[in-house]
Amino acid sequence: MSLAKFQPKRVGVVFSGGPAPAANAVISSAASAFRRSGSDMLGFLHGYSGLQDYDAAKRTLVAEQDYHAFTDQDLHGLRNERGIFIGTSRANPGKGIRGPKDLDDPQRTAPLRRVYDGLVSLGVEALVSIGGDDTLKTANFLYEFQRRLPADAPRVRVVHVPKTIDNDYRGIDFTFGFFTAVDVMAQELLNLRADARATKGYFVVETMGRKAGWLAYGVAIAGEAHMVVGVEDVEGALAVQEEIKNETTGAVTKENRLDLDALAERIVDLIVAREARGKHYGTIVLAEGLAELLPESFLRGVARDEHGHVSLGKIDIGKLIAKIAGDRYEARTGKSKKLTGVQLGYESRCSAPHAFDVMLGCQLGLGAFRAIVEEGLDGHMVSTAGQLDLQYVPFAQLVNPETLKTEVRFIERGSDFHRLARDLETRLPGK
C-alpha cells in the first residue's frame, strides 16, 4: 500500500543470485533516477555477503570493499555493458527462516538483523533488491522483520526487481535477460544442428531452467530443435510415481519422477521416425530441471547450494540421457547412432544484452525509483505488462503467508506457448 511520496537521502541496491543479461540496465537506470532526484546511491558489492557479516563492534562496512557510491562517471555507457557492475553472490541472510514463527526468533533472524543494522549504519532509507525467487523471499523477510521492530526504529523501505533468465517468475510476463539467453543458446543449438546434419548424429542439449521449461522451450523454438522436454512434461507416460520421505518430518509422499526408460524410448522413437523420412540427424532439448525429478537413487549424495538446491551441473542430464537412449537405439535396431550430450547456459548469463532486455531492464530500474519516490511503496515488486507498462505487486500476493515461500510459474500444458513448441517439433507416429 502507498505511504505517500518519499524522498530518501540514501538508497542501496543489491544484486543477488546468478547473473543475467541487462543487469546493468536495471542498475544504471535506477541509479540515474535516484541521483537525479537528489538521493545518494550505494551499490552493495557481491550481494548480501558484506551486509550479512556486519557487526558494529567488530566489522564496519568499508567503501569499495563492501559497497560503492555511484558517480556520474559510473553510469556512462553502463546500460549495455556485460556482467554486473556491483557483482553478485548467493549469500542468503534468510537461510534460517522456514516459516512465520521464525521471524520472531532472534537467533534465526540474526543475519537479517545484521543486514538491517548495516543498512541503517550507512543511512540507507530504501533498498532496491534485484534477484530471483530466493532473493524475493529475502526481501520479504527483511520487510517482515522490520514490521516487528519497535515503532520508533528506523525503517528501510524494500522494493524488489525480479531477475531470472529462467522466466519462471509469478507476477511478471517476462524477466530481463530471458530473451538474450534464448537467443545465445538458440544460436549455439543451430550450430549443433548443422554439425548433427553433417555427421548424421544427434545432440541432446541440456539448457538452464532449474524449475520450469521456459528457457528450454524458447531455445527449442528459436533453435529449430526436433524435440523438447521440460519439467512440465513429466506426467503421463514420462512419469513414474515414487515414495519420497521428508528428512525433517519423516512423512512419506508420492511424487512424479522422470521415467528415464520412457524418455529414452521416446528419443529412439524420434530417431526411427526421422530415419523413415530419410533424415538421419537431429537435436533434442532438455530442461536442466529434469535432473531434480530423477529417481531418488540418482540424487543421493549430490551437492546442494546455499538454498538447498541440487547442483544440477554435476548430474549432466544431457549426457546421461544420451547414453541411455543410444544404448536403447542399438538394442532396438541393431545399429549404432552417435548421441552427444551438451550443456548450455553459463555462456548466456553475461552475454551482450538483447535490445528488448535492455529496454525491459531500464523500465524495471526506473520502476524501482518510481515505486519508492513517486508511489511511496514498501514491500512491493516492480513488474511490467503490455507495452512495458509499470505495475507494483505487493509481496503478500507473491509469497505464501503460511510458508513464506514463493511459487514457480510453470508453462501451462495446452497453452498457446506450449502448443507452439509441440507443433514445431517432429511429429511422432500416434502422437
362, 29 contact by CB (below 8 A)? yes
Please tell me the predicted confidence (pLDDT) of residue 1: 43
What's the whole-number mean pLDDT along residues 317-331? 95
In the prediction, which pLDDT does 428 show?
87
Residue 307 has pLDDT above 60, yes or no: no
Neighbour order of strands in the sheet with 10-15: 67-69, 40-44, 10-15, 126-131, 157-162, 380-385, 389-394
Locate CATH 3.40.50.460 in the chain.
181-349+411-424
Tell whether the model's pLDDT for residue 302 goes beyond 60.
no
**Mean of the pLDDT values across residues 325-329?**
96
Task: Look at residue 2 and tell me whether its pLDDT is greater than 50.
Answer: no
Comparing 9 with 2, the larger pLDDT belongs to 9
10-174+353-397 CATH pick, 3.40.50.450, 3.30.70.270, 3.30.40.230, 3.40.50.880: 3.40.50.450
Task: Tell me the average pLDDT across 76-101.
Answer: 94
Q: Which of 1-10, 43-52, 348-357, 364-373 has the lowest mean pLDDT?
A: 1-10
Band of pLDDT at residue 210, cut at 50, 70 and 90: confident
- pLDDT of 427: 87
Residue 322's H or E segment, with its range, is helix 317-333
Q: Which residue has the higher pLDDT, 130 or 316?
A: 130
- Taking alpha carbons only, the member of 231, 237, 236 closest to residue 261 is 237
- Give Cβ neighbours of residue 357 (< 8 Å, ≥ 6 apart): 21, 22, 25, 176, 177, 178, 179, 180
pLDDT score, position 368: 98
Encode pLDDT of 68-83 as tens digits: 999 999 999 999 999 9
* CA separation for the pair 191, 196 (Å, rounded): 9
**pLDDT tens digits for range 133-152:** 999 999 999 999 999 999 99
Q: What is the mean pLDDT of the chain?
A: 92
pLDDT at 163: 97
Q: What is the per-residue pLDDT across 146-178, written as a single tens digit (0 to 9) for each?
A: 999 999 999 999 999 999 999 999 999 999 999
- What pLDDT sits at residue 113? 96
Q: Tens digits of per-residue pLDDT, 15-52? A: 999 999 999 999 999 999 999 999 999 999 999 999 99
Give me the pLDDT at residue 345, please. 85
Instruction: Please name which of 133, 91, 142, 152 lies closest in space to residue 112, comparing C-alpha atoms.
Output: 142
3-state secondary structure of 24: helix
CB distance 293 to 320 below 8 Å = no
| Domain span(s) for CATH 3.40.50.450 in the chain | 10-174+353-397
CA distance 196 to 190: 10
Cell of 377: 511503496
Burial class (CB in 10 A: 0-12, 13-18, 19+), 243: exposed
Domain range 181-349+411-424, CATH class: alpha beta
